[in-house]
Amino acid sequence: MRDLLSVLPVGTGGALGHSTDYAIGLAKARGSHLTVLVVADEAIGPAPQERPDTMQGDIVDGLLISACSGLSAQKGEQLAAAAKSSGTECTVLSASSTSPNFRQLLVGTAQVRDVVIFDVEGPLQQPMLGWVEAILFGSGRPIVLAPFGGRPVINGTIVFAWDESRSAVRTLHDILPLMIGSRDVVVVSVIDDKQIRNPGSGDWICSYLARWGVTARFQPISRRSEKVGVDLLDFASRMNADVLAMGGFGHSREREFVFGSATRDILQSNIAIPVFLSH
């Protein structure tokens, strides 16, 4: 992973936010560039001429994301200082969530990054819930939901939820760079949630990962609650995992809304460990 994107609403107060702390730690560990998109809930005026090198503009689908100004500039200066102190190269961008083109801009920014990191503190609410869904369904890039105190994946434990879905396959390949070098990878399936067409597929995943030098083990678990996502979070917590990786929405928005999903369980939970999602 060479370019990480952290999305930071200005309204998170004086602190930089969980996602930025997490992203700086992950970028430092991986030698990655960090891009932070500071999102204001009001229009952002023209940027002054003089700005530090880290306060850059960007073009996404012909739309300008300006250098930070006002309260966004204060955040930007904090971010630049925090990144510099960790030895991380950082680009700070800003955008207004009130812009009619904001979601297009958000998706376009994500498309040219390796992963998008969001703060979470309790169940996701609008507007951030809408931003997360826009990235998952529109960008083709994975996201990480980073709670307070979440540990960046360096060489720890990854729990990967496997259900043979397309989104789970996508997740496997998106998180592979983080699996390489990890101390422990656990492939887990909730065996009484949905029928697994190929009962040996969990072991196949482990064999595949072994070819990448990843030591992985398969562990089937039984459903313990009405919400599969909660069961996966509980299992990952018991494994003291650094991250739970899983497919984000295996079907269309409409189908997931009607029938529910493990992903929605996650988005509505008070998560205590980072969650990596791909669609």
* Vertex 19 angle, CA 158 and 11, to 5°: 155
Looking at the chain, how many residues does it have? 279
**Residue 44: per-residue pLDDT:** 53
| Torsion from C-alpha of 84, 88, 94, 100, nearest 10 degrees | -170
Q: Do residues 178 and 242 make contact, with C-beta atoms less than 8 angstroms apart?
A: no
Cβ-proximal residues to 59 (8 Å cutoff; 6+ apart), any chain: 65
- Mean pLDDT by groups of 10 residues along the chain of 279 residues: 90 65 91 91 49 40 43 75 90 88 94 95 89 93 94 92 93 96 94 76 96 96 86 95 90 43 86 94
- What is the Cα–Cα distance from 193 to 235, expressed in whole angstroms? 15
List the structure tokens of 78.
């904090």
Three state DSSP letters for 215-242: CEEEEEECCCCCCHHHHHHHHHHHCCCC
The confidence score (pLDDT) of residue 147 equals 92
Q: Name 221's Cβ contacts closer than 8 Å, sequence gap at least 6.
A: 188, 189, 190, 191, 231, 235
Q: Which whole-number Å values give the CA distances from 271 to 113, 138, 225, 230, 231, in the listed order?
A: 24, 24, 16, 9, 12
pTM: 0.85
Nearest CA among 146, 140, 159 for reference residue 279: 140
Q: What's the pLDDT score for residue 258?
A: 33
The pLDDT value given to residue 196: 72
pLDDT of 153: 86
Element (H or E) spanning 188, and its range?
strand 184-190
Rg of the chain's alpha carbons, rounded to an integer?
19
Dist. CA 124–CA 74, nearest whole Å: 25
Give the pLDDT confidence score for residue 122 in this predicted structure.
87
Amino acid, single-letter form, for residue 14: G
Find the helix packing angle between 201-210 and 166-179, rounded to 10°: 30
Predicted pLDDT of residue 223: 86
Q: CA angle, 107 as apex, 75 and 164 as ends, to 5°? A: 120
Are 270 and 240 contacting, i.e. CB atoms less than 8 angstroms apart?
A: no
What was the pLDDT predicted at 16? 67
In the chain, which residue ranges form alpha helices assigned H by DSSP? 18-30, 71-85, 102-111, 128-138, 166-179, 201-210, 228-238, 253-259, 262-267
pLDDT of residue 250: 59
Closest CA to 21 of 3, 36, 31: 36
> What is the identity of the amino acid at 200?
G
pLDDT at 15: 59
**pLDDT score of 70:** 61
